[in-house]
Structure 1
Amino acid sequence: MYALGQTNFLSDKATQPYMIMADLCAAFGVAQSTASAKARVVSEALRITVMDPAWTLPSLINGNPLIWLAQINGVLVDLRSMPKEIQVLAYEQGAIPCIPGDR
């Protein structure tokens, strides 16, 4: 839970859900230092990174720029700003989880 909380900014008051990591650890009855160390092991084993698209909460998908970045003709673009035809094509190819305007 600690590793997933980190990748989804659980302790950032600007995001929902929000919880400080000390409270998360207390809820599971573990010391924060232990949880942090185990989270590192889990993150390394599962290759979880901050803002990792594979581990992003559905409620945070629209705000995660890593989900929407693609390379088109050698240029990195944000698919949310591309024409709908390109978004549909990216969605059909599985490059993005949804068509931005349709959520």
Structure 2
Amino acid sequence: MNKTISVPKKMEEKYNEIATIIEEFCSVHLNKEYEQLCLQLCAALCRKRPSPLEKGRANTWACGIVHAIGTANFLFDSSQHPTITPKELYEGFGVSGGTGSSKSKQIRDLMKIDYFNTDWALPSKLADNPMVWMISVNGFAIDARNAPKEIQEHAYKMGIIPYIPE
């Protein structure tokens, strides 16, 4: 997936409004890596036809975007860094938990964001995400990092794993 920051002219104002909220939140609570991935997701949502961002409040969309990326990257796991609770995230955007989580679900469903989709994984977390490395060989789920090199190469060429592990 090509995750660029380009957006259609008609969506530039909405993108900038949401992006500003995301940037402010990430600078206080998260980091640049989260910010970049969230901005890429915001741009991807702007490019959808029709864009779901055309309707709704900017802070609600910003919350849903950060929550969606956070969910896919274990942001709410206290053993991870950075970490935040869902309640702190919702409060940071000034939205209710129900609103924030439902917007996140809408985004995750629309963009197919989950633990297995490396398109929305933080680059620094790829190696530690066991779900990214699970592949099926002859009907058995295995960790690609433990597979023979030729299986790893085949899985990489097919786009199933993000890179060939060392």
Whether these two folds match at TM > 0.5 is yes
Given the alignment, which residue of 111, 133, 146 partners 1:46?
A: 111
User: Runs of 5+ in structure 2 lacking a partner?
Assistant: 1-65
AA paired with 1:5?
A: G
Given the alignment, which residue of 86, 90, 98 partners 2:155?
A: 90
Q: How many equivalent residue pairs?
A: 100
What do residues 6-47 of structure 1 show as CA deviations (whole Å, max 9, x unaligned)?
Answer: 222211111122111222222222222221121122222223
Equivalent-residue separation in structure 2 for 1:36 and 1:71 (angstroms): 31
**In the TM superposition, what is the alpha-carbon distance from 1:74 to its structure 2 partner?**
3.1
AA paired with 1:68?
A: W
Higher percent of residues as helix: 2
Aligned to 1:28: 93
Q: Percent identity?
A: 38
TM-score (norm 2): 0.51
Equivalent-residue separation in structure 1 for 2:151 and 2:112 (angstroms): 29
Aligned to 1:5: 70
Equivalent-residue separation in structure 1 for 2:160 and 2:98 (angstroms): 37
User: Runs of 5+ in structure 1 lacking a partner?
Assistant: none
Equivalent-residue separation in structure 1 for 2:113 and 2:158 (angstroms): 23
- Taking only aligned residues, the RMSD between alpha carbons, in angstroms, comes to 2.0
Aligned to 1:71: 136
